[in-house]
Amino acid sequence: MNTLKHLEKGKVYLVGAGPGDPDLITMKGSKVLELADVIVYDRLANPELLGLTGEDSEHIYVGKSPNKPSVSQKQINQILVSKALSGKHVARLKGGDPFVFGRGGEECEELRANSVPYEVIPGISSALAAPAFAGIPVTHRKAARSFTVVTGHTIKGTDDFENWCHLVHADTLVVLMGVRNLPNISETLIELGKSPDTPAAVVERATFESQKVAVGTLSNIAEKASHLSPPATIVIGELAAMSHDLAWFNTEKVRADIDVQHQLLAI
């Protein structure tokens, strides 16, 4: 895919941008960015990736920020459809993976309803990258044969975790978009039968140089991670404790952060 003719006119490519580090985008994703006429990108897609695009490409920012005015999903759908129907090939650049809480399914439904051809190019989800960059395997033959990914923030007004009974038994539970609800999430899981001593971790800005990690237990992780902000990923389960030994990314900075946490707790 090295010439423009390899991209069909009037087509939308849903491209997974990965978790943040621009080097983690796939080769296919980077090639589509290079050749696309229009780049429609969100807040979690690293802006450095725009450097891969063609000089004459049109860039349209459609990022959503909590509690701030933003482009609605309906408007995003309309942009994708109208640009494609005008004969453009469009790269819809989305943080992480388009189909992992990225609303890619909704966009594909709209494209299909308007007879717009599309292709999904997977990306590395923070559900996998954040634990990995914190030294936390989500599966392990001796401790966890499975992992579960869930959103910690749903449609406005329905952040209700009472139906999480089945998640108590998850070997490794990865929660995306849940850092603001972490106290409620922890309390709910404990009330539903999860041991308060279950290891837990929170990874803020995974894969960036500014990445921060807090490690504790289900009973105290909300306090230990109180200084962290979105975007952040929560990991709950026995394997979360392995971050102490297996952390490899920014290890000097991680040790410094842990020392600061210990000093604050001692005050």
| Token output for 166 | 């089945």
Q: Which residues contact 234 (CB under 8 A, 6 or more apart)?
A: 152, 173, 174, 175, 176, 178, 179, 182, 185, 200, 201, 202, 221
Is residue 74 within 8 Å of 105, Cβ to Cβ? no
Residue with tokens 């309309």: 78
In single-letter form, the type of residue at position 74 comes to: K
Residues with a known catalytic role: 42, 64, 177
Alpha carbon distances (Å) from 24 to 125, 212, 220, 253: 10, 19, 32, 21
